[in-house]
Structure 1
Amino acid sequence: MAKIPTVFIDGEAGTTGLQIRERLAILPALSVRSIDPAHRKDPAARQALMAEVDLVVLCLPDDAAKESAVLAAELGDRAPRIVDASTAHRVDPDWAYGLPELTPDQAARIAAAPRVSNPGCYPTGAILLLRPLVEAGVMPADYPVTVNAVSGYSGGGNAMIAEYEAGRAPDFELYGLALNHKHVPELQLHAGLTRRPIFIPSVADYRQGMIVSIPLHLDTLAGRPKPADLEALLRARYAGSEYVSVAPASAKLEPEALNNTNLLELRVHGSEALGQAVLTARFDNLGKGASGAAVQNIGLMLGIPVETRLPAAAE
């Protein structure tokens, strides 16, 4: 009988860690190992457990994730494979970027990689919209891109969740207005941009769900494409994708429709007469934007089928 692969979630008490565990718990082809809560901050105990499993998921702050990656590397031939859900390694060339739909061969690269950095929620939507345009030559790599996005408050972690659920947070809030949000380097690199994009995120008073939007003046793009041309380009790029689809434009768009799934919908809203378009990506910031994406990568790395949705009881 084939050995069932084992996974340790280092930092399973956080929002992302808990949702990854819920998704993995229903998989018969995988076993999840946990550390004694009394030893969850003990480096020796964590390293000992790492030596016993096939894969470790890091759901930790950036500095702690880097420390855990070093603990794993010190094991040499006994080192487990890693999926890092933090920001720590997303622009590190020694880590595979965990967005299987990034390029036609990215899923194979993830499957073979010893270390994978799970994408950020906001960059996931923006990269999937922008990279096909850049690679096709429609958008110059130095294009002055502006990315706007709104997320449910669960994307802000335990402290923000507590503030919203206690009624102490505003209904809507822009942030990152110093233009130095930690997702920008990742977004720029993996979208293929040479000019730093302007990225303005926001949070609203609902738990989860995300919309990323990118406005465009079509006469500034190569060939002056019509909205239908951009839609056709995206449809061709993601044809056959299990999780990413291109949907028809709509007059309105709400962010919660894909909650508790790993699905992501791209749209091109535009006016040929006005020469303008808005690209949008809608998905669950805790699904394709975090935990669902991590489980998708775990399945690729371990060569097992996975269920990226939350169990029905958890929805």
Structure 2
Amino acid sequence: MDGQATVFIDGEAGTTGLGIRQRLDALPVTVRSIAPEHRKDAAARRAMMESVDLVVLCLPDAASREAAAMAAEIAAAGGRAPRLLDASTAFRVDPDWVYGFPEMGVGCAAEVAGAARVSNPGCYPTGAIALLRPLVQAGLLAPDAPLTINAVSGYSGGGRAMIEAHEREGGPAFELYGLGLEHKHLPEITRYAGLTRPPVFVPSVGHFAQGMIVSVPLHLDLLAQPATGGDVRAVLADFYAGSDRIGVAEAEPGLSAETLAGTDLMELRVHANESRRQAVLTARLDNLGKGASGAAIQNIALMLGLPAPAPRAG
């Protein structure tokens, strides 16, 4: 790409938009913005879209769909349509969009680099897919295995109302939600983990701002192939060998969800009890880092042909 690339964040005032804006300082790009009073002006947004190389959509699902339709209209009219990176859930299982998880397998980073439209992964799915996809691909875990995924996240990913509720005096200590078992992240977890049976997904929010743990309990005797906890760990370690953002760490007797807050890293662990033939897989990450803005910066760099910035490591 000739010259310095230009980026517009549609929705830069939100939590994810602010995080991306801060991290873009690590890339040689020019960030363009619309004056606050014109951010909902369709004509101003369209003009901005036509003037930049890439638009990052940090909007609710419906608004993201409208913005993507606007970009398509620009292209259909023969205009200069930008490439799109969407941070909502609107397009994560859309076959016309590339799922932006570069470490998900061989060729995934190249797909992101060549795509006109990329969907940024969700925070919970990032941990769940990272744990499960390698095991399915290795034949250790059957695609139709009956799985349960438990997860706890900091409240910063829940939107303004949740943030305000937790930051006022006497805010909730812990909230279990999604108990209708139709969480919006289930489709992408199921598809990109390689599952044919949707897992039971139980998300929750703790009284801390940033950080996340995704955990998956396993009965080792019910795996598709005979395996120990060490075998499971070896599959994960081999899959992510060479990654500067995802690592496989030693098991610990306890984990704090806040440890990786402020970083773009993710730690995977296999906590196994061989005598009981049981294991718990865990993924620890920052819901606003590798789970949102940090992943977006990876994808932006790939889409613009720029060297990937070093991950924030705290």
Classify the TM-score, shorter chain. over 0.9
> Aligned partner of 1:21: which letter?
R
Q: 2:45 corresponds to which residue?
A: 46
Query: What's the CA shift for 1:168?
Result: 4.9
- Cα distance in 2 between the residues matched to 1:188 and 1:124: 12
Worse-matched range after superposition: 204-213 or 159-168: 159-168
Q: How many residues align?
A: 311
**How big is the shift at 1:259?**
1.4
Alignment-mate amino acid for residue 254 of structure 2: K
Matched, 1:212 2:214: yes
Instruction: Return the TM-score normalized by structure 2.
Output: 0.96
1:75-86 to 2 correspondence within 5 Å? Answer: 75-76=74-75, 77-86=79-88
User: Which aligned segments of 4 or more residues in structure 1 are displaced greater than 2 angstroms?
Assistant: 305-310
Question: Corresponding residue for 2:233?
Answer: 231
State the AA in 2 paired with 1:142.
Answer: D
Q: Give me the whole-angstrom Cα distance separating, in 1, the residues matched to 2:108 and 2:270.
A: 24
**Offset of 1:39 from its aligned partner?**
1.0
SS of residue in 2 equivalent to 1:57: strand
Offset of residue 173 of structure 1: 1.1
- Distance in 2 between residues matched to 1:185 and 1:2, nearest whole Å: 38
8 Å contact kept, 1:295–1:308: no
Please tell me the residue identity of whatever aligns with 1:10.
D
Partner of 1:37 in structure 2?
Answer: 36
CA distance change for structure 1 residues 219 and 110 in 2, over 3 Å: closer, same or farther? Answer: same
* Residue-by-residue CA offset, 1:170-192 (whole Å, 9 max, x unaligned): 10111101101100011101101
What TM-score results when the alignment is normalised by the length of structure 1?
Answer: 0.96
Give the Å deviation of 1:224.
2.4
**How far did 1:309 drift?**
5.3
Within 1, Cα distance between the matches of 2:9 and 2:170? 31
1:244 and 2:243 equivalent? Answer: no
Choose the corresponding residue for 2:116, options 110, 114, 118: 114
**Pairs within 5 Å for 1:4-15:** 4-15=4-15
Residues 53-108 of structure 1 show CA distances to partners (whole Å, capped at 9, x for unaligned) of: 00000000000000000111111151100110000000001100000011111000
Task: Give, in angstroms, the shift of residue 304 of structure 1.
Answer: 1.1
> Aligned pair 1:172/2:174, yes or no?
yes
Gaps of 5+ in 2: none
CA distance in 1, matches of 2:26, 2:286: 20
What whole-Å deviation, never above 9, does each CA across 1:140-191 have from its counterpart, x for those lacking one? 1100110000001001011111111113531011110110110001110110
AA aligned opposite 2:61: D
Q: Please give the alpha-carbon distance, in whole angstroms, between the structure 1 residues aligned to 2:149 and 2:187.
A: 13
Equivalents in 2 of 1:241, 1:112: separation in Å? Answer: 20
Q: Counterpart in 2 of 1:58?
A: 57
| Cα distance in 2, alignment partners of residues 134 and 65 from structure 1 | 32
Change (3 A) 1:132 1:111: same
**Are 1:132 and 2:131 counterparts?**
no
Q: Quote the Cα distance in structure 2 between the aligned partners of 1:83 and 1:168.
A: 37
Identical aligned residues as a percent: 62
- The more displaced of 169-178 and 109-118 is 169-178
Contact 1:292 1:308 in 2 (8 A): no
Do the aligned residues in 2 keep the contact of 1:213 with 1:280 (CA within 8 Å)? yes
1:194 Cα offset (Å): 0.5
Contact 1:260 1:309 in 2 (8 A): no
Matches of 1:294 and 1:60, distance apart in 2: 14
Q: Deviation of residue 218 (structure 1)?
A: 0.6
Deviation at 1:270, TM superposition (A): 0.6
Cα contact 1:47–1:71 (8 A) shared by 2: yes
Matched to 1:81, the amino acid is: R
Shift of 1:43: 1.3
Task: Give the partner amino acid of 1:4.
Answer: Q
